[in-house]
Amino acid sequence: MSEFVTVAKVGSIPEGEGATFTLGDRLVAVFNHNGKYSAIDDLCPHMGASLGAGQVDDEGKVSCPWHAWRFDICDGTWCDNPTLKIDAYEVRVVGDEIQVAKIESKPQD
């Protein structure tokens, strides 16, 4: 069973927007789309821009604010090449808390 970490309160992320949070050694973007919360890696794999600062469209795709790469906010799929995905994380709401599944730290080489 996954452990969850509270990142924000319900209502603190406006509808159609995202916010960035630190979980362990990762930055995670949490989005509010149609009243549902989802979470993916915050850093765009192209040049490292914050996806949490990107625009979310009606279909639930976020555009990178630097070069407009688009990712599905539910599963992290890159819209231009679905074989590339960034990590997506389980999100739940408990009471008024938005919680993201705890991320295990990656071992150092």
The DSSP result for 5-17, as a single string, is EEEEETTSS-TTE
User: According to the model, what pLDDT value does residue 3 have?
Assistant: 93
pLDDT in tens, 26-74: 999 999 999 999 999 999 999 999 999 999 999 999 999 999 999 999 9
Query: Model's pTM, two decimal places?
Result: 0.91
Q: How far apart are CA 42 and CA 103, in angstroms?
A: 13
User: According to the model, what pLDDT value does residue 83 have?
Assistant: 93
The single-letter DSSP state of residue 13 is: S
**For all residues of the chain together, what is the average pLDDT?**
93
Long-range contacts of 62-68 (CB under 8 A, 24+ apart): 62/18, 62/29, 62/31
Q: Quick one: CATH architecture of 4-101?
A: 3-layer Sandwich (2.102)
